[in-house]
């Protein structure tokens, strides 16, 4: 009989956020989470995760590779279930979505 692993969705979400903080747009020295490129994280039963993200522009040179990197890093979290990354464009990203720390790091404060 297979043992059912009980998950804490908030713990898994925090692990996902930590993984996302290791992903960078190569043109900007700030991680994608602080850049405000992550629009949502849902963690369901069996630790299945959906990450909704955007890019700074639809013409971003990493439009293919960055979502793949996000999926790869989230899948590497121990006991994570299925992972789906959804690229969304609405609402469009603006610098207002950046954290204060990111703005400070980029000299925008």
Q: Which two tokens stand for residue 10?
A: 């908030």
Averaged over 27-49, what is the pLDDT? 93
pTM for this predicted structure: 0.89
Structure confidence at residue 45 (pLDDT): 81
Other Cβ atoms closer than 10 A to 5: 9
On whether residue 49 sits in a domain, the answer given is yes
On whether residue 93 sits in a domain, the answer given is yes
The rounded distance, in Å, linking the Cα atoms of 36 and 53 is 9
Structure confidence at residue 19 (pLDDT): 97
Q: What is the number of structural domains in the chain? A: 1
Tens-digit pLDDT profile for residues 30-40 = 999 999 999 99
Domain limits for position 51: 9-105
Tell me: pLDDT of 41 over 60: yes
On whether residue 75 sits in a domain, the answer given is yes
pLDDT band at 25 (very low <50, low <70, confident <90, very high): confident
The domain that contains 24 carries what CATH number?
3.30.300.130
Tell me: pLDDT of 79 over 70: yes
On whether residue 4 sits in a domain, the answer given is no
Tell me the pairing of strands 49-53 and 83-87: parallel
Contact 51, 40 (CB under 8 A): yes
On whether residue 1 sits in a domain, the answer given is no
């Amino acid at each position: 009989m297979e043992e059912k692993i009980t998950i804490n969705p908030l713990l898994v979400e925090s692990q996902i956020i930590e993984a996302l903080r290791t992903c960078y747009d190569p043109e900007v020295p700030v991680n994608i989470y602080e850049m405000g490129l992550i629009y949502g994280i849902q963690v369901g039963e069996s630790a299945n995760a959906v990450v909704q993200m955007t890019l700074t522009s639809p013409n971003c040179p990493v439009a293919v590779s960055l979502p793949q990197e996000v999926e790869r890093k989230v899948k590497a979290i121990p006991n994570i279930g299925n992972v789906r990354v959804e690229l969304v464009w609405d609402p469009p990203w603006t610098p207002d979505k950046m954290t204060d720390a990111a703005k400070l790091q980029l000299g925008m404060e």
